[in-house]
Amino acid sequence: MGLGDDALVLAQRLGEWITRAPQIEEDIALGNIALDLLGQARTLLTYAGDVEGRGRDEDALTYLRDEREFRNVTLVEVPNGDFAVTMARQLVFSAYQCELYAALVASADPTLAALAGKAVKEVRYHRDHATQWVLRLGDGTPEAHVRMQAGLERVWPYVDELFATDLAVEALPDVAVDPASLRPAWTAYVEGVLADATLDVPAPTWHARGGRAGLHSEHLGHLLPEMQHLHRAHPGATW
Contacts with another protein, residue ranges (CB under 8 A): 8, 12, 15-16, 18-28, 31-32, 34-35, 38-39, 41-42, 45, 58-59, 62-63, 82-83, 135-137, 139-141, 143-145, 147, 226-227, 229-231, 234, 236-239
- Of 24 and 171, the one with the shorter C-beta distance to another protein is 24
- Of 38 and 155, the one with the shorter C-beta distance to another protein is 38
- Of 103 and 134, the one with the shorter C-beta distance to another protein is 134
Q: How far is the CB of 9 from another protein (least distance, A)?
A: 11
Q: At what angle do helices 110-138 and 142-155 cross, to 10 degrees?
A: 140
Closest CA to 2 of 98, 99, 106, 112: 112
| Rg from Cα positions in the chain | 17
Q: How far is the CB of 162 from another protein (least distance, A)?
A: 24
Alpha helix segments (H runs only) across 1-109? 2-15, 24-52, 58-63, 83-104
Q: Is 167 helix (H, G, I), strand (E, B) or coil?
A: helix
Task: Give the C-alpha separation, 223 to 228, whole Å.
Answer: 9
- Of 102 and 135, the one with the shorter C-beta distance to another protein is 135
Q: How far is the CB of 160 from another protein (least distance, A)?
A: 29
Task: Give the C-alpha separation, 123 to 211, whole Å.
Answer: 22
Closest CA to 197 of 75, 87, 72, 69: 87
Q: What does the angle CA 111 – CA 78 – CA 143 come to, to the nearest 5 degrees?
A: 120
Q: What does the angle CA 109 – CA 126 – CA 124 come to, to the nearest 5 degrees?
A: 55
Task: Give the C-alpha separation, 74 to 212, whole Å.
Answer: 8
- Of 205 and 238, the one with the shorter C-beta distance to another protein is 238
- Of 58 and 122, the one with the shorter C-beta distance to another protein is 58
Which positions ≥6 away from 2 have C-beta within 8 Å?
71, 72, 73, 166, 168, 211, 212
